[in-house]
Structure 1
Amino acid sequence: MTDGRPRIGVIGAGAVGCYVGGRLAAGAVADVTLVGRQWLADAVVDHGMTLRELDHDDFVAAKDIRFGVDMQALSSCDVVLCCVKSGDTANTAAQLAGILRPGAIVVSLQNGLRNGDTLRVHLPQNPVVDAIVDFNVIMRDHAVFQRTTSGPLTVETKSEPQHQVWVDALRAAGLEVVEVDAIEAEQWTKLLVNLNNAINALAGVPTREMILCRPYRSVVAMLLDEGLDVLEEAGVRTAKFRGVPLRVMSFILKLPTPIVRLVIAAQLRMDPEARTSMAQDLERRRLTEVDFLNGEIVSLAESNSRDAPLNRRIVELIHEAERAGEGSPNLDAKALLQRIRPQQAPAVTDG
């Protein structure tokens, strides 16, 4: 603790990590250290950090936050928020094992299901907490981190007093935090919702535009239905998403656009420029997390001797785009339907 404040670090400080770390620094509720890429560290030194909310901006001066590229900077932290891509978790955890002090808490703010378990394998002396980021952040030039959707941080409940300190800090920083006793069902729900990330990446359009296009929604609903079928056959339980059962969500996605527009307005605040993290990864020519999202559905299906052909095809299309290295292929809805179901592409019109 520093001056009574927890020392909170962020490893893999990108869009989400910088936003959450920036909120903690802006509220002066924690002593914050960010560790990420050199170009981003340079941008923060040059410009400070702008945290763009849905209705206002906050600013963190460079002097009020530490941003480095060496994990050693996290050695004195009480809590470390892990925000690296899922494919980097094992390597990151192995390095942190020689840096973090025993007892330092590690919180996984990552997509996918298995990051917490991977962290526990490599960090046996550190309590690991699973959490879910239920909002979207995009990174703009000059160290601007723009939150583009509403939603909470969902955190696995822990009874030990040291855990409440960092949860309280997040709340004091203005972040909504929901604590749940059993997070696995919530993680599966977030994964199913995130199946749309790949569609957004392949379409190359803002998330809101995608959701308000009925043909795109039909593809998202197909992936969701297939995922739910796979989970039900495997006996995996899911939670509601913002109070809505996922089967009901799939039904809503298939409704005419004017109805969907009303539902979105009631359930979710969304910036018109919002894009998923996978779309941002393709645009930056980085490997995506598709294997840890749609690929997880494929793997679960295979473990039960069945197939998930739609999600499997989406994984293939994303990998094709990664190898091409040209950003999004900008597939319109008709082209996308033809790619995933060439013999059975339904004629879905907008409206």
Structure 2
Amino acid sequence: MSFSPKFAILGSGSIGTYIGAYLVKAGYPVVFVGRERLKQEIQLFGLGISDYKGNSFTLAPSQVRYVTDIKEAKDSNVFLITVKSKDTIEAGKSIRSLFSPEELSKIIVVSFQNGVRNSKELASILPELDDRNLAGMVPFNVVAKGKGQFHQGTSGELVVKSNEFGNKIHSCLRKAGLPSIVHKNMEGVLWGKLLFNLNNSLNALAGIPLREELSQRTYRKILASMILEGLEILKHSGIQPASAGKMIPWLAPIILKLPDFLFFKVASSMVKIDPEARSSMWEDLHHGRTTEISYLNGEIVRLADEIGHKAPINRKIASLIAEAESGSGRSHYDAEALSNLLGII
């Protein structure tokens, strides 16, 4: 039986809108479900998509079906979840409200979110999905530039769980021009990505573009210490992070500590970062939104508490983000000040 996907993007912010735009361009039916502010922006300006390679395309407002009510996605059979991790349960409940149990057994759901628990949380709400509930991973960064413009600032391939249904989604993504791979060990991939994503909080505290941050060896040493601490805690917890593409967690601390000239040579062959790229957590702080710190560094701290590890570095970083988020602390730290605060030499 042929597969005729009709996509719904739940939580169409930066990542969801970017992925959805490619699917629209490829001719797939897509409904974007998100906030009224972005709906109005796209109705006025359309969508402009660009990336670090210099590629770009535009979609006219008439080409983008952007709605604020999930009921308008009733005709969809593939749901890409790109909401913040704190909203995963609600997203699952909203999907359940659309369909009967029999109908639920025929749709596919893919979690393209930060964190490691989203697919399991969706399974608790939507057990009928079974193998159609797919963990996914987005390695690259997308910045919303305003006026319907979305820019991919870093390289990387989307990852989807390898099974009958994941392979179908992978095929659609590739057809749409989105780099994509499948992987059997998605739990390991998600933990591996989380270790790299510890830089989200560091970049937010640095308050500068990613490339500028990583060009400073002191910031890189801080990130290396964060990842090493995470690797130690994962090891004691019996969790083995997996690499996906060129993202190799256990090599990262070694590469980050290299002198500048060696770091740039090695890193440039692994990841491309343009001058506009910033982390999603910086973007959240900048716009006064709740961050995902509890689903990133907070996951490391949660595991540390379970095994009796102090996790001083990630715990302090999480605390600094919480203070910046509440307005009770500083929002930006230069490399030396932050290094001294964390006790990293």
Q: How does 1:236-255 map to 2 (within 5 A)?
A: 236-240=239-243, 242-243=245-246, 245-255=248-258
Q: How does 1:231-310 map to 2 (within 5 A)?
A: 231-240=234-243, 242-243=245-246, 245-310=248-313
- Identify the residue that residue 337 of structure 1 maps to in structure 2: 339
Provide closer, same or farther for how the CA distance between residues 4 and 131 of structure 1 changes in structure 2, counting only shifts above 3 A: closer
Question: Is residue 2:87 matched to residue 1:85?
Answer: no
1:157 corresponds, among 154, 162, 166, to: 162
1:174 aligned counterpart, secondary structure: coil
Letter in 2 for 1:232: K
Question: Is residue 2:30 matched to residue 1:32?
Answer: yes
Aligned length: 338
Please give the alpha-carbon distance, in whole angstroms, between the structure 2 residues aligned to 1:125 and 1:75.
17
- Identify the residue that residue 108 of structure 2 maps to in structure 1: 105
Conserved? CA contact 2:205–2:333, under 8 Å: yes
Q: Provide the alpha-carbon RMSD of the alignment.
A: 1.8
Provide closer, same or farther for how the CA distance between residues 93 and 325 of structure 1 changes in structure 2, counting only shifts above 3 A: farther
1:67 aligned counterpart, secondary structure: strand
Conserved? CA contact 1:226–1:310, under 8 Å: yes
Conserved? CA contact 2:192–2:248, under 8 Å: no
- Identify the residue that residue 133 of structure 1 maps to in structure 2: 138
2:206 corresponds, among 190, 203, 207, to: 203
- Tell me by how many angstroms 1:241 deviates: 5.3
Provide closer, same or farther for how the CA distance between residues 4 and 108 of structure 1 changes in structure 2, counting only shifts above 3 A: closer
- Identify the residue that residue 43 of structure 2 maps to in structure 1: 45
Per-residue displacement from partner, 1:91-119 (whole Å, max 9, x unpaired)? 22122210144221110000100000111
Structure 1 range deviating more: 302-311 or 97-106? 97-106
- Identify the residue that residue 169 of structure 2 maps to in structure 1: 166
- Tell me by how many angstroms 1:124 deviates: 2.1
Please give the alpha-carbon distance, in whole angstroms, between the structure 2 residues aligned to 1:57 and 1:240.
29
1:179 corresponds, among 169, 179, 182, to: 182
Provide closer, same or farther for how the CA distance between residues 325 and 308 of structure 1 changes in structure 2, counting only shifts above 3 A: closer
Letter in 2 for 1:155: V
Letter in 2 for 1:275: R
| Runs of at least 5 residues in structure 2 that lack an aligned partner in the other structure | none
- Tell me by how many angstroms 1:53 deviates: 1.9
- Tell me by how many angstroms 1:125 deviates: 2.5
Per-residue displacement from partner, 1:123-169 (whole Å, max 9, x unpaired)? 12233100000111110111101011111001101125xx5443222
Provide closer, same or farther for how the CA distance between residues 334 and 144 of structure 1 changes in structure 2, counting only shifts above 3 A: same
- Tell me by how many angstroms 1:223 deviates: 0.4
Structure 1 range deviating more: 90-99 or 217-226? 90-99
Provide closer, same or farther for how the CA distance between residues 141 and 339 of structure 1 changes in structure 2, counting only shifts above 3 A: same
Conserved? CA contact 1:5–1:31, under 8 Å: no
- Identify the residue that residue 119 of structure 1 maps to in structure 2: 122
- Identify the residue that residue 322 of structure 1 maps to in structure 2: 325
Provide closer, same or farther for how the CA distance between residues 222 and 164 of structure 1 changes in structure 2, counting only shifts above 3 A: closer
Please give the alpha-carbon distance, in whole angstroms, between the structure 2 residues aligned to 1:244 and 1:290.
21
| Runs of at least 5 residues in structure 1 that lack an aligned partner in the other structure | 347-351
Please give the alpha-carbon distance, in whole angstroms, between the structure 1 residues aligned to 2:238 and 2:252.
20
Please give the alpha-carbon distance, in whole angstroms, between the structure 2 residues aligned to 1:83 and 1:36.
10
Please give the alpha-carbon distance, in whole angstroms, between the structure 2 residues aligned to 1:39 and 1:215.
39
Please give the alpha-carbon distance, in whole angstroms, between the structure 2 residues aligned to 1:110 and 1:72.
22
Please give the alpha-carbon distance, in whole angstroms, between the structure 2 residues aligned to 1:332 and 1:263.
25
1:95 aligned counterpart, secondary structure: helix
Please give the alpha-carbon distance, in whole angstroms, between the structure 2 residues aligned to 1:17 and 1:243.
23
1:214 corresponds, among 203, 207, 217, to: 217
1:179 aligned counterpart, secondary structure: strand
What TM-score results when the alignment is normalised by the length of structure 2? 0.94
